[in-house]
């Protein structure tokens, strides 16, 4: 079972329906026990960082997120749900994130339209010695097009697994073990997005490994 965390921020069913389209047993979950019982967890997010962070905390699901990530359960953050995995955001100074990934969410570079609301190409970080390629992008070609809607993105760190060019390199995804996050919307990114979600579903089917 894949839990899509419902913490009252709306637009959750698109992710749930995309996962169900792939044959996954995806369900909206609004309680910590349901999240902790899942084989995989998805944290969507739309809007601003601060309200999403407060809603997650008020729901009590923030502790569940830390619990499932700490247990090694496959986890995927999407858009603002990805940003919440970091320490904080320039969009909402003083509002802490979950701190599960190092770094801060920054405003997109100057000189480009804000928000980025378009298709853009993924520049995948190639495998390196001691670091395999991202399992989330297995079978996904470098340069594939995905759909973005955002004005902020996490800074580039050692956990960045792909970027896009929007006034300079912008983090498009990051990972730490079975913890993944994507700034783009895979549920709105056609066949490429479904392939990425299918890789996540396949990982949850192997949990616990």
Active centre residues (catalytic): 79, 185, 187
DSSP letters of 86-108? SSEETTSTT-----SSSSEEEEP
CB contact at 8 A, 14 and 188: yes
Joined together, the tokens standing for residue 37 give 């019982």
**What count of other Cβ atoms lies within 10 Å of the Cβ of residue 50?**
15
> Could you give phi then psi for residue 13, rounded to 5 degrees?
-70, -20
- Per the listing, tokens 């359960």 go with 73
Kindly give, in sequence order, each residue whose CB lies less than 8 Å from that of residue 168, ignoring residues fewer than 6 positions away: 109
How many Cα atoms sit within 13 Å of 40 on the Cβ side?
A: 27
């Amino acid at each position: 079972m894949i839990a899509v965390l419902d913490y009252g921020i709306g637009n959750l069913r698109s992710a749930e329906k995309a996962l169900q389209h792939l044959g996954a047993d995806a369900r909206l979950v609004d309680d910590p026990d349901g999240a902790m019982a899942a084989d995989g967890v998805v944290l969507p997010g739309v809007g601003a960082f601060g309200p999403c962070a407060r809603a997650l905390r008020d729901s009590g699901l923030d502790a569940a997120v830390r619990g499932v990530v700490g247990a090694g359960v496959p986890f995927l953050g999407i858009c603002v749900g990805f940003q919440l995995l970091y320490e904080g955001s320039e969009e909402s100074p003083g509002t802490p994130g979950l701190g599960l990934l190092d770094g801060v969410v920054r405003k997109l570079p100057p000189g480009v339209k804000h928000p980025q609301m378009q298709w853009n190409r993924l520049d995948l970080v190639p495998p390196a010695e001691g670091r395999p390629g991202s399992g989330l992008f297995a079978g996904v070609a470098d340069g594939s097009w995905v759909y973005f809607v955002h004005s902020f993105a996490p800074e580039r760190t050692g956990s960045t697994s792909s970027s896009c060019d929007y006034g300079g390199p912008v983090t498009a995804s990051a990972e730490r073990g079975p913890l993944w996050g994507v700034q783009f919307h895979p549920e709105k990114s056609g066949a490429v997005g479904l392939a990425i979600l299918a890789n996540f579903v396949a990982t949850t089917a192997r949990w616990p490994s």
